[in-house]
């Protein structure tokens, strides 16, 4: 049974103080949640105090990016080793904003995944098609390329530290969520890819999150899908009340403890 993961991607929002306050509110309101993992990804400057604020709570702190080297002449970059040093448990990599705005390739994202694993951290590895790719019938080819190239060189054991996040680009920040069925179809396809590349055990164990306009009003339907193991939330993760409700999505009988 895959444990649900509810992750918040704060993107470029919130000062150190604002981040600390939001984490304190989440920690207070989610302290009894033991049947789901809660992950929050603030900006780099707020990470260290976020780790301190989350201490003793069920909230893990992840970064939104990293550079694939542990140290060296890479002006302006932050390595997985340094993230680990301040108590982060992982990082988001391959987000569509980084692919689109910063030109990140599957190969570069693969290097980041490998660097995170080498540091003992978890990679929240994002993939997803654009509207144009979906409408021109290339969605499955795009997802296949992103998964094969993004996870190239990984062993089945490495996959213990990988969470896949399917985020259709057309649903991110647009208020347009994929329907429960569209999301489930993509997730089942991705799970099939993992089976082909690795094995059935990896396909069974790897959490696949859905992201793209997840809100309190649509989380229950998404989480009820067989292959949706959690959500990666942008906008709604900045509002305490919304993120708390998302983390308290309606459990089906089989996940209730």
Site string for ligand PGA, 196-225 (x = CB under 6 A): ---------------xxxx-----------
Decide if 95 is catalytic.
yes
* E-strand stretches of 54-109: 59-63, 90-93
Is 91 an interacting residue with respect to ligand PGA (CB under 6 A)? no
Decide if 181 is catalytic.
no
Cβ atoms within 10 Å of 140's Cβ, excluding its own: 15
Beta bridge partners of 8: 40, 233
**Under DSSP, is residue 172 helix (H, G, I), strand (E, B) or coil?**
coil
Q: Tell me whether residue 10 or residue 67 sits nearer to ligand PGA (CB atom).
A: 10
> Which one of residues 4, 5, 6, 9 is an interface residue with ligand PGA (CB under 6 A)?
9
DSSP character for 170?
G
For the chain, the first-to-last Cα distance in angstroms comes to 12
Q: Tell me whether residue 114 or residue 218 sits nearer to ligand PGA (CB atom).
A: 218
Is 234 an interacting residue with respect to ligand PGA (CB under 6 A)? yes
CA dist 196 and 62 (Å) reads: 29
Site string for ligand PGA, 142-181 (x = CB under 6 A): -------------------------x----xx--------
CA dist 247 and 244 (Å) reads: 5
Residues that bind ligand PGA (CB under 6 A): 9, 167, 172-173, 211-214, 232-236
| Active site members | 95, 167
């Amino acid at each position: 049974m895959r444990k649900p993961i509810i992750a918040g991607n704060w993107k470029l929002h919130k000062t150190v103080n604002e981040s600390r306050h939001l984490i304190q509110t989440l920690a207070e309101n989610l302290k009894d949640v033991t049947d789901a993992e809660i992950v929050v990804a603030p900006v780099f400057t707020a990470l260290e105090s976020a780790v301190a604020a989350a201490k003793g709570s069920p909230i893990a702190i992840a970064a939104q990016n990293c550079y694939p080297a542990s140290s060296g002449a890479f002006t302006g970059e932050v390595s997985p080793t340094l993230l680990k040093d301040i108590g982060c448990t992982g990082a988001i990599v391959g987000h569509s904003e980084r692919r689109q705005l910063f030109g990140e390739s599957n190969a570069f994202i693969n290097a980041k995944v490998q660097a995170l694993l080498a540091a003992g951290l978890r990679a929240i590895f994002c993939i997803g098609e654009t509207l144009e790719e979906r409408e021109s019938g290339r969605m499955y080819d795009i997802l296949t390329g992103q998964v094969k190239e993004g996870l190239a060189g990984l062993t089945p054991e490495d996959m213990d530290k990988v969470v896949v996040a399917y985020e259709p680009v057309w649903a991110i920040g647009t208020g347009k969520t994929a329907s429960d069925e569209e999301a489930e179809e993509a997730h089942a396809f991705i799970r099939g890819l993992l089976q082909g590349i690795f094995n059935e055990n990896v396909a069974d164990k790897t959490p696949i999150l859905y992201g793209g306009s997840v809100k309190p009003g649509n989380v229950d339907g998404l989480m009820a899908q067989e292959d949706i193991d959690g959500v990666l939330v942008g906008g709604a993760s900045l509002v305490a009340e919304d993120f708390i409700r998302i983390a308290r999505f309606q459990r089906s009988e089989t996940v209730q403890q």
